[in-house]
Each structure stands twice: as C-alpha cells, then as structure tokens.
Amino acid sequence: MRASPVTVCGPEIGGMAELSEAGFCVYDLQRMHDEHAAGDLAVLEVDFYRAERIADVDDDHAVARLALEAAAAALGVPAATLDPSLIVDVAVVRARRAVSHFALGSAALSPGLRLGEGVYACGDWVDRTGHASWSTEKAVVTGRQAAAAVGRSLGLRAVDAQVIPAAEDTPQLAVLRKISAALRAAAPTGTALPPPAPWAALLKAVSSQR
C-alpha cells in the first residue's frame, strides 16, 4: 500500500476457502482520515463483497482474524505482520444482499447534486461527471461536494469540503474510449458496438433464440 491507501482484490486470494468467490478492499485509514493520522495505532478497514459465507460468521473476532489474514495475503506481507494478537478494537458490519443493481443507460439519467431549491443529494448514483464510478469512494466525494454546495448556498465560509480532482485517463484508456465512441457513432441505428456490457450482449443473443 505504498502507492495508494486502497488495495482492491479479487476472489481466491491466499488460497483461503472463505475467499473462493469473495473480493475485498483494504483501506489504510491512517492515510485517509485526519482523525487517525496522528495516532500510534494502525487503523485498517477491510470490505468484503459476495461474502455471505463470511457474513454468517457470528464471532466478530473470528471475522477480524480472517480480515487480517486476507489483508496480509493481498499485501504480500508475512501473516505475523498483521497478527490477530495486535488487535485493539474490532467493529464488524454485516450487510447481506447489499449490492446495487443499475439498468443499462441509467448513468445518463443520474441527477446532479442540486435537486431543487435548497435540496441537495449525494451518493454514487448522482453527478456522474468527474469522479465517474459506482463506489463508496464516489459516495464520499459527492457527500463533500454536497456539503460545499450547501455551504455556498448558506454563505458559510468554514466548510472543509475540498475534493481531490479525479485522475486523468491513462493514454491507453483514452485511446480505448475514443475507439469505443467511434464504433458506437458508426453503428447502424438501433445497434450498439461495442455492446454496453458483455452480459448485455449475451442477454440479447439468448433472447433472440427464444
């Protein structure tokens, strides 16, 4: 985590049976939150996805031990570096079936931060410009943007809601975006090239066989 305070991991990390389908993210909160930056303790958050098997574990300390084992495997450090005996405090939140589902094209309908006079919204479903992602991070970013908007509306000067601008596309991604846009523009009316998502093309193919 030297380059980034966030490590994103797919399933099957470290040969752990509990992670056969579960992906996860490791957050170094000491580097992400001012309230932890000056502390002497490391503060880690590990978010698991597709992790019903882990959510069914009732013992919070057992979940914490598993999280440390997963984090050590993901970061490529010895398990002893994140030994469970070092744990000072544990908090576990279990959110079963908590994954959002979005319809194709729904991003184009995402509202801005300001819904009306004095009404503001935040979350990864709003304001798809700039930080364009469906993520916890996007929810945090739009929360800070909404706070700044409320502060401007009320004439407040002490609202600490600065947001780091989204990183520019890499040259490779920028080229792929241009190719995708060109293919979509050249496609006959009613078709989409390339398809919006692989599973969308598969669904269309299956439906045509019925």
- Summarised one tens digit per residue, pLDDT across range 20-57 is 888 899 999 888 888 888 878 889 999 998 888 899 99
State how far the Cα of 99 lies from the Cα of 23, in Å rounded to an integer: 13
**Average confidence score pLDDT of the chain:** 81
Task: Report pLDDT digits (tens) over 113-152.
Answer: 888 888 998 888 887 666 666 777 788 888 888 888 888 8
Angle value at C-alpha 143, between 142 and 145, nearest 5 degrees: 60
% of the chain surpassing 70 pLDDT: 80
Q: What is the pLDDT of residues 91-124, one digit of tens each?
A: 999 988 776 666 666 667 778 888 888 899 888 8
pLDDT at 199: 45
Can you give the pLDDT at residue 170? Answer: 84
Give all strands (DSSP E) within 50-135, no chain letters.
114-116, 119-120
Q: How many CA atoms lie within 13 A of 209 on its CB side?
A: 6
Name which residue leads in pLDDT, 190 or 34: 34
The span from the CA of 145 to the CA of 167, in Å, is 17
User: How much is the pLDDT for 69?
Assistant: 93
Q: Which two tokens stand for residue 94?
A: 């279990």
**Residue reference for tokens 């993901």:** 74
Angle at CA 139, nearest 5°, toward 161 and 95? 135
